[in-house]
Structure formats: C-alpha cells, structure tokens
Amino acid sequence: MRTLCASTLIGEFFVIGFAGLVAMQMTELSPATIWTVSGIAMLLSLLLCGMLTRPGGVQLGWALQAALIAGGFVVPTMFFLGAVFAALWWASVHFGRKIDAAKARWAVQSEAADEPAGKPA
C-alpha cells in the first residue's frame, strides 16, 4: 500500500505546485497567500509519504484529497483534478491493502514450503 499511496502523493505534490502557478494568474489573492497555502499542502503531501504506515496516515491523506477538491474554488480545474486524485487515492489504498494481504499469504506459504517435511515446527 505504501508504494502506491506514496506515488499518488508525489503526483499531488506537482499538481499542487502547478495549481499555485495558475492561481497566481487567475485570482487577486496575494502571491504570499497562494504560496503559503500551496507550500503547506505540498509539504504535507511529502510528509505523508513517510507517515502512511503510522496510525492516521491514510486519514490525513483523505483530508489532503478533500483540500485538493476544495482548491477548485480558487482554480476551477482543481475540482476535476482533485476528484481524479481522490479516485487514485482510493485505488491506492484499496488495492494496496489487497496486495499487502497477498504478499503476507505468500510469505506464510513460502515459509511452510521451506520447512522440512515430517518434522514438527
């Protein structure tokens, strides 16, 4: 799960940065405001890459997805891009957990196959 989610978060890092550039051209917000908000979101996306296995990491990722969608009020394209990344986040979490479970089953089966036959474990 960690690899898939981290890949999604790195993609979001770049999208947030580009959205900040677009927001500078489309709104009357000051550049300081735009880059403070964008910078915090970009930093959060990078920090979340390391927090995915900790409690609350996935939930913070969902909060970032909601913030990306809400960015559509400043840059309307972010409604679409935020929804796309929310779908990618869901897929990363959902299929990542399935892959992790399959890897765990495979590891157990591999250990069982490596034990000598007829000897108790």
* pLDDT, tens only, 92-104: 999 999 998 999 9
C-alpha to C-alpha distance for 103 and 10, rounded to whole angstroms: 24
pTM score of the predicted model: 0.83
Q: Mean pLDDT, the chain, as a whole number? A: 91
Predicted local distance difference test score (pLDDT) of residue 120 = 58
C-alpha to C-alpha distance for 6 and 111, rounded to whole angstroms: 29
Q: Please enumerate in sequence order all residues whose Cβ is within 8 A of that of 51, keeping only pairs 6 or more positions apart, or say none.
A: 57, 60
For 39-76, the pLDDT digits (tens) are 999 999 999 999 998 999 999 999 999 999 999 999 99
Q: Please enumerate in sequence order all residues whose Cβ is within 8 A of that of 20, keeping only pairs 6 or more positions apart, or say none.
A: 34, 35, 37, 38
Q: Which residue do the tokens 């409690």 mark?
A: 55
Return the structure tokens found at 65.
């997805």
